[in-house]
Amino acid sequence: MILFKNCRIIKELTEGYEGEFADILINGDDIIERIDKPGTIEAEGAFIVDAKNNTVLPGFFELHTHLCITDMNYHRLGTMSQAENAIEALSFAREYLKQGYTTIRDAGTIHNVTAELKRAKARGTVNIPDIISSGQIITPTENGNATFANMYYEADSPYEVRKGCRKQFELGNDIIKCMLTGAYLNEAGNPGESIMMEDELLEAVKVAKMKGGYVMGHAHGAEGIKLGIKCGVRTIEHGSFIDDEAIDMLKASNKTFLVPTAAIGLACLDDDGASLSEDMMDKSKRYELAEKAAVNKAYRAGLKLGFGSDIDKENFIRYPGMEFYARTEWFDFEYKDILIQATKNSAEIAGLAEEKGTIKVGKRGELVVIEGNPDEDIYKMKKMPLYVYFQGELIEN
């Protein structure tokens, strides 16, 4: 058992308890057993962590990462051995845990690394966040696919899409990722251009549903976004040029959700050509204002948004909490809403709200202690958490 004492908690992220401060008891099965007023829980033999009135949050979700991407020199992927990539991905996953992320959804990998990491975790070999893995990305033959080496599975008909999706599930992955539009970071790719046909996407959705999964849809352009919603993908990734019609479609849907990615925008402009090509930098600068305006409009419309960053390991380590503050710098989101997106919203979007996403008796005891009040100052997230507790491991930074 472990007892977190003197926890400042956030009302919107806590269920079944009304106070601002609490003690939280996690039992030997890593389930929250009790939440009560400070000083009222007696738990003989429990390990004590004094939060000292700092903020305690449920474990964070990262709904858009690539554990295989070490830095912004994306062509390097093609030179890495399977062993090197696996080691780098494991290191990245551990870094996520240190920063308070207890669930990560990988949006495309090489060498099937994330499924192998899941298996290693299940064997007890490593303690890393829970992983939702999509395997290789299903994409039509398209400009820039070579940028990301073996991350793509090219498929140019419903039959080929079906085969590609089945292959990802055969390899132990949970869900499917499809490219509905071009990409900023694909050399010569056009992010606003639709590239996947309706019959191809419907086939992916059908196979994923049959296997108990769903489809993530990479989509910047409005027509690609609307195709994804129409075909029933679970999430729209990025949504950079979402329009009024697409916003209305999402508001009317309880099956499809938007996962904006702010940190990658900041990272691209910060790179300023050091690793990115002239084509990639040009697109990042040219579309910056349009993306900010469109995603902010979706946010102000009241859409339930998920939390994803899309950044590489190097930037993730260099700038702790980057997606949190990027959502107020790159976009214009309210501090408390950002915390809700990273926890409660993303748990619901990922289908894990019964287990995670809020602090509640009976849910998983995945807790993050943040110095100060991040709901009042999101830049508190730039510091590493004081403590992270996950599946029997207490990380003290």
Kindly report, residue by residue over 47-89, the tens digit of the pLDDT. Answer: 999 999 999 999 999 999 999 999 998 888 888 899 999 999 9
- Would the pLDDT of 149 be above 80? no
Kindly report, residue by residue over 94-128, the tens digit of the pLDDT. Answer: 999 999 999 999 999 999 999 999 999 999 999 99
Q: For the beta carbon of residue 304, count every other beta carbon within 10 angstroms.
A: 16
- Compute the C-alpha angle 167/177/100, nearest 5°: 115
What is the value of pTM for the model shown?
0.97
The pLDDT-based confidence of 224 (bands split at 50, 70, 90) is: very high
CB 194 within 8 A of CB 176: no
Region 215-238 average pLDDT: 99
CA distance 2 to 395: 13
- Check residue 79 and give its pLDDT: 87
- Would the pLDDT of 179 be above 90? yes
Kindly report, residue by residue over 194-217, the tens digit of the pLDDT. Answer: 999 999 999 999 999 999 999 999
| % of the chain surpassing 70 pLDDT | 100
The pLDDT-based confidence of 273 (bands split at 50, 70, 90) is: confident
- Check residue 78 and give its pLDDT: 80
Name the least confident of 284-293, 341-350, 375-384. 284-293
Question: CA 345: distance to chain centroid?
Answer: 11
Mean pLDDT of the chain: 97
CB 225 within 8 A of CB 248: no
Give the tokens for residue 129. Answer: 């966040």
CA distance 311 to 112: 19
- Check residue 59 and give its pLDDT: 99
**Helix (H, G, I), strand (E, B), or coil: what is residue 364?**
strand
- Check residue 77 and give its pLDDT: 82
- Check residue 306 and give its pLDDT: 99
| % of the chain surpassing 90 pLDDT | 94
- Would the pLDDT of 46 be above 80? yes
- Check residue 138 and give its pLDDT: 99
CA distance 266 to 268: 6
Domains and their CATH numbers in the chain: 2-58+357-396 (2.30.40.10), 60-349 (3.20.20.140)
- Check residue 397 and give its pLDDT: 87
Kindly report, residue by residue over 244-254, the tens digit of the pLDDT. Answer: 999 999 999 99
- Check residue 215 and give its pLDDT: 99
- Check residue 74 and give its pLDDT: 86
- Check residue 263 and give its pLDDT: 97
CB 181 within 8 A of CB 192: yes
- Check residue 322 and give its pLDDT: 98
- Check residue 2 and give its pLDDT: 98
CB 231 within 8 A of CB 208: no
- Of 61, 212, 223, 206, the closest CA to residue 138 belongs to 206
Strand pairing of 130-133 and 101-106?
parallel
Q: Which residues of 341-365 are buried (b: 16+ CB within 10 A; e: fewer)?
A: bbbbbbbbbbebeebbbbbbeebbb
- Check residue 313 and give its pLDDT: 97
